[in-house]
Amino acid sequence: RRGNYATATATDITVFQDIIGHNHVLTDPSELEGNNIDWIKTVRGQSSILLKPKTTAEVSKILKYCNDQKLAICPQGGNTGLVGGSVPVFDEIILSTQRMNDFISVDPVAGCVAVCQAGCVLEALSQELNKHDIIVPLDLGAKGSCHIGGNISTNAGGLRLLRYGSLRGSVLGVEAVLADGTILDCLSTLRKDNTGYDIKQLMIGSEGTLGFVTAVSILCPQKPKSLNLAFLGVDTFEGLLHVLRKAKQDLGEILSAVEFLDSACMGLVKTHLNLTNPIGEHEFYMLIETSGSNTQHDEEKLSSFLDEIMTSQTVSDGTIATDLNKMQAIWGLRERQAEALLHEGYNFKYDVSLPTHVMYDMVLDTRRHLEGLCTSVVGYGHLGKCDGNLHLNVTCPQYNQTIASAVEPFVYEWTAKHKGSISAEHGLGFKKRNYISYSKSNESITMMKKIKKLFDPNGILNPYKTLPDT
């Protein structure tokens, strides 16, 4: 049900035009089409106003006005979210970071802290930082469209988490505008700073419900001089876990990513995207990436690691990408899963973290549970240092209520029973907020609601998201 918010009028539009200029206030429904729907086409809103500010001051003016008028706002970055967090639910005004894409600075001395506006596209930022021989400590499939501000607001995980940790560690500072227009300047470039409460942490992962992130500073690792990628075929999940353990032991500090996909996933990218499997058919495939500062050292380590898993017969088949094109082709098999899945029709997407040893049981149990109901149940994801992050996908030709009620809360109950989290990296957004109690205690949910009230008393920032209805 729509909250008790005002409905935007022609007067409001004039005010917005005065703040950011006529060209940047969009009201033509056809132009708003892409902003009203998520890219996996599962949720649609009916916003009729899209605002594209350029500066923090403009954002501040807009929010102050909206707060006074009780107009609800939906913050939006690249709109690549998977839980409906970045699209309006009713007629919320969309506040986009699209034009806030200025790269601000890299500190000249240490050369490792990058500061930029929230609307920088991850890939563009990554290319800019490459010039300074550093990288963004975050990489994910949507890099070509997602905005860094959105990444931070959702605490995106991605492919490099294993090596560089979560954004909670690498984001050093955030500048955000609160609901009443207050500019919260926490844009520190310090790694060490224990002065009081760390408010910026509340902006990380709160999905724009506590503030609108306008700028960020990020601690960036050196660009590795040497990159290697192995692609392995494994026939059991136990075997895969053995390889993971061995990789952690033998590759140690140069290990930068361990990903996996099952045979059904391989089938999808082959059928729908025409990709080639470079090795033979197996139950599971693993990508193991190393990055370091010395090619010879890394190759030696990788080679002895591969030697051992081959002689122990855990792995019988695999390849090493010898050039960058091959690396990209292999990464494509993993990174383009979400794209391939869309060709199957409607996707029920789950993103759970679980102890690695039970991780794939969830796919098997879900498959059994839904037998005969859906097109396919597939699993892929990130293998971590402790827990694993499974992307479980259930596909069917179009949205289907029978499947929906068979799969939910089944997957959430399964996750809770195995002490996992129902959202490892995608957030709760609109679609999963009412399931928060599977992963969080009542006390902490109550505390979250108090924090929301404190930051946004009128509840204008991204309503109907993150927190449950009741």
Partner 1 sequence: MARVLVGVKRVIDYAVKIRVKPDKSGVVTEGVKHSMNPFDEIAVEEAIRLKEKKLASEIVAVTCGPTQNQETLRTALAMGADRGIHVEIPADQCAKAGPLQISKIFAKLAEQEKADLIILGKQAIDGDNNQTAQMTAAVLDWAQGTFASELKLEGDELTVVREVDGGLETVKLKMPAVVSADLRLNEPRYATLPNIMKAKKKKVAKISPKDLGVEIASSIEVVEVTDPPQREAGIKVESTEELVSKLKESGLV
Binding-site ranges for partner 1 (CB under 8 A) = 225, 227, 230-232, 278-279, 306-307, 310, 315-326, 328
- Closest to partner 1 by CB, 317 or 365: 317
Q: How far apart are CA 388 and CA 240, in angstroms?
A: 12
Structure-block tokens of residue 77: 């970055």
Q: How far apart are CA 141 and CA 155, in angstroms?
A: 15
Closest contact distance (angstroms) between CB of 93 and partner 1 is 29
- Closest to partner 1 by CB, 11 or 325: 325
Closest contact distance (angstroms) between CB of 17 and partner 1 is 21
Closest contact distance (angstroms) between CB of 299 and partner 1 is 8
- Closest to partner 1 by CB, 11 or 311: 311
Closest contact distance (angstroms) between CB of 134 and partner 1 is 15
- Closest to partner 1 by CB, 57 or 329: 329
Burial group, residue 469, by CB count within 10 angstroms (0-12, 13-18, 19+) = exposed
Closest contact distance (angstroms) between CB of 295 and partner 1 is 9
The sign one gets for the Cα dihedral 326, 331, 337, 339 is: negative
Structure-block tokens of residue 222: 């050196």
Q: How far apart are CA 147 and CA 260, in angstroms?
A: 26
Closest contact distance (angstroms) between CB of 405 and partner 1 is 44
Q: How far apart are CA 215 and CA 447, in angstroms?
A: 27
Nearest Cα residue to 267 out of 139, 395, 411: 395
Burial group, residue 421, by CB count within 10 angstroms (0-12, 13-18, 19+) = middle
- Closest to partner 1 by CB, 310 or 416: 310
Give the H or E element holding residue 353. Answer: strand 346-355
- Closest to partner 1 by CB, 100 or 286: 286
